[in-house]
Chain A
Amino acid sequence: MINSQLPILQVMVPLLAASLCAILPFRRLTWLIALAASLAALAISLNLLVLVLNDGPISYALGDWAAPWGIEYRVDALSAFVLVLVSALGSIIMVFAPTSLAREIDADRVFLFHAMYLLNLAGLLGMAVTGDVFNLFVFLEISSLSSYVMIGLGRDRRALTAAFQYLIMGTVGATFYVIGVGMMYMMTGTLNMADLGTRLPEVAATRTVIAAMAFIVVGLGLKLAIVPLHFWLPNAYAYAPTVVSAFLAATATKVALYALLRIVFTVFGGPAMIGLPVDQILLVLAIVAMFGASAVAIYQTDAKRLLAYSSLAQIGYMVLGISFLSATGLTATIIHLFNHALMKGALFLALGCIYLRLGSVQIEKMAGLGRRMPWTMGAFVVGGLSLIGIPLTVGFISKWYLIQAALERGWWLVAALILLSSLLAVIYVWRVVEVAYFQAPSDDMLQLREAPAVMVVPVWVLAGANVYFGVNPQQTIRAAQSAAAALLGGGG
């Protein structure tokens, strides 16, 4: 019985918990609520994943209004995969959060942070669970608005301007998306994804549909921070509280990517259906991101900004996978979507530990930190190696599939470029490693202790996941493959 209500509970639990948090001005209590809601969401999503893998996609009619009129929630392999990813990272980050927040946010605002975090979680989960393009917009805005607030909570005043910049660009992106949705509605009279998928091909050649696709890809591209649309991201990640950076880097861009995949493949039936060379455009942008953002990352002096630029480059890899338009390419994208969440989660949380003790994440101030905070830096190194793509970490698996997809298409040059760009990752990761391990600590660092266990353990859970899914990636690969097949199968 309860099983049939899972899709709606997935969203309702964090949503209700959020409103509860907003009216209860207690730090510890709201934290407990947030943690409990995250864990409940995780349990629900795991349940959904098992159900979907066993019995195929689940459809849920909201308020019992049947699909084309009412809003349909639809969970297939891909969305279940994303749900698990988001709720799992949310739970881990929540365990980590209180100690880190105590240092980075004013104490009287912490309960509001929890409310915002839960709203964001509800928004992200909703985006993954919904089968309705307009409903997706609503959830997109819920998660966006709450993330502007969370970024603005940072103590650095630049966090405010970063949040404002993100608000402007994010709203423009979301509006673009809605305009695209409106155009699709004009041509088909439906907002249901599966319905759109069957009706759009008839009108695919019209200018309206082409324009719709262009609007939607640009709109979601803004949320996803595909390279020329990325200007909000580095500042937002750099000045937000570390917990927020970790959560957004690990989940928000991933869900935006999910939405892009959903729209481009399930709704439009793949770029080939529409007379717009989206794949070629994405290919070029992805390669620019891979090199440009990595090159900029090399010159950063702030470790958080460094990771932010590295995120842009990694988003490039995911987008590259889409541009191959093949099962292997999409598998690579989905695998990397998961893997990158693990890497960046671990790395940002490690920076959270460092900020707690050091009060800064400037690379030059991290001299000798390898000795003072061995566990934290150890996790950072593991995450960094994964980012580079060293075998036995998840990064290697991602790279393997991406290159294989490139070779499958016979794009030798692209394969070579993927490898070349991962060498840039070696440089920026090693800049931190060298400073932390092979430079003498300054005198005021002698008092420095390792971060408390409640922070180190979540960091290592993620770092460990980087290794675990790197040596034992069958589950990820299988889930990604079936998700890719569902996307290409159309509707699925």
Chain B
Amino acid sequence: MSPETAIIAALAVPALGALLIGLAGRVPNLREAITLTTAAALLAIVISLVLAWFDGARPDVTLLEMIPGLSLRFTAEPLGLLFALVASSLWIVNSIYSIGYMRGNAEHNQTRYYIFFALALTSTMGVALAGNMLTLFVFYELLTLSTYPLVAHHGTPKAVRSARTYMGVLMATSIGLLLFGMIWTWQAAGTLTFTPGGVFEGKIYQPLTGILLALFVFGIGKAALMPVHRWLPAAMVAPTPVSALLHAVAVVKAGVFAVVKVIVYIFGVEHLRTVINFDWLSIVAGFTIVAASVVALRQDNLKRRLAYSTVSQLSYVVLAAAILVPISVAGAALHIAAHAVSKITLFFAAGSIYTAAHKTEISQLDGIGKRMPWTMVAFGIGALSIIGLPPTIGFTSKWLILQGAFEAQNSVAIGVIILSTLLNAAYFLPIIYVAFFRSESGEAAPHGEAPWPMVLALTATAGLTVVLFFAPGWPLALAQELAGIVR
């Protein structure tokens, strides 16, 4: 398969999968088999694309000219490949987990669920492989739309209301700010193609750059930078595999990915270094990291605590990119992958606790580690990775970011990272402590582990978190390639 075909296939395969899932809706086993096959095929395609890229192929596919001079265009570059790799590999795991979860909880409308899941993956691939800002925007919006039914899945008034917040915030930011920024860029620079070094050199009045950047950074609401983070906790009403998808695989990652992409390929790191009023981004990101961690500390609902932890971790990526040195940009890229595997493990664990024990609050978790050892050990590994302790991938990415912060002598960043590490530890370690070292409170019904597909999935991602520490392989290699582009 030529790399060009591979790009098209990466978009077409999940879409085709969605269609087949819809057709096979009445036969659950077939439907699930199609989901898994599609996921596996997608991963194979992405891997072939990565291999081709390392071989020197630079595919560039132009599909349709939407507006004179502006086409739907797809390319492969390190950051996008990294994101595509993360998303497609975790989709397999998530599908296995979904099967266990949806059947274990006897959810309704399962076909709709799998269809929109596959469509969300198509959109994610489109975001990852976008060759210009317009394409990215198109798939960014499709991602919002295709995940909306997943968030509103339960159809209860609460779910519909939360989904409304989800949709409202994401639409408002993307149409109100991102589209505006994009058209402004088009007007000023005459191109929206992602170009190493940026498109603005000498084309825009300096002080305006800060404002334009703000339009992009806040317009990409999926990056959940405060104050546009409200959708993320609201989306917690969704079934757990959806939360895992939103928080670890597709949606939030599409957000921070887009921010990094804009900083590297639209504004250009070098160009931004010369912009005087650029500091605000580090400050906003730093504030989000700390504030969200503090909020997370005070949540008793496990999923909500994880949600605020996600808000905080996402800003790591933004902060890292805002430090503007190659090594920190590499750290940003790697953190996308690191946070993905760690957070998906944590969500899987939360969902498995809910399925097996029907517990959602942290205060109910006393002694649960003895009943669900696999789940809680995996949870512990995920937590270590988020805190940034070895031997997990979270340590590697944080190390790179910190190194970049020292190199740039950015004292704000250094302080924020140290403070937030302490806060992360403060909101995760107590959970592990009570799970293993407290005895169960009286009236609990006996239960064991969750259904095996769920345990399998969460063990796999926990294992991946550790393996990537010892053998970071492609993720690190791609991150370093990105650093090479930034220089």
A contact residues vs B (CB 8 Å cutoff): 385, 388-392, 397, 399-400, 403-404, 407-408, 415-416, 419-420, 422-423, 426-427, 430, 434, 437-440, 471-474, 477
Contact = CB atoms under 8 A, between A and B. Distances in A.
Interface stretch (B80-88, B176-184, B383-391, B419-427): B176-184
Given A397-B67, A473-B67, A404 B176 contact: no
Nearest to B109: A371
A399 B138 CA distance: 14
A439 B134 CA distance: 35
Interface residues of B, number: 31
What DSSP secondary structure best describes chain A's contact surface? helix
Interface of B: 64-68, 72, 134, 137-138, 141-142, 145, 149, 152, 155, 159-160, 163-164, 167-168, 171-172, 175-176, 179-180, 183-184, 186-187
A106 to B, nearest CB: 40
A485 to B, nearest CB: 14
Contacts of B64: 471-472
B175 A423 contact: yes
Contact of B180 (A391, A419, A438, A439): A419
Contact of B66 (A397, A404, A426): A397
Contacts of B168: 426-427
Contacts of A390: 141, 145
B155 A440 contact: yes
Contacts of A408: 187
Contacts of A400: 67, 183
B461 to A, nearest CB: 31
Nearest to A381: B145
Contacts of B187: 404, 407-408
A415 B185 CA distance: 14
Contacts of A416: 176, 180
Contact of A474 (B65, B134, B159): B65
Contacts of A404: 183, 186-187
A422 B167 contact: no
A415 B177 CA distance: 11
Most buried by B among A389, A416, A471: A471
A423 B138 contact: no
A407 B184 contact: yes
Nearest to A391: B138
Contacts of A426: 167-168, 171-172, 175
Contacts of A415: 180, 183
23 contacts: A389-B175, A391-B137, A397-B66, A400-B183, A404-B183, A407-B187, A415-B180, A419-B175, A419-B180, A422-B175, A423-B175, A426-B168, A426-B171, A426-B172, A437-B149, A438-B152, A438-B155, A438-B163, A439-B155, A439-B160, A471-B72, A473-B67, A477-B68
A416 B183 CA distance: 11
A314 to B, nearest CB: 16
A423 B176 contact: yes
A375 to B, nearest CB: 13
Contacts of A391: 134, 137-138, 141-142
Contacts of A430: 164, 167
A308 to B, nearest CB: 23
Contacts of A427: 168
A434 to B, nearest CB: 6
Contacts of B180: 403, 415-416, 419
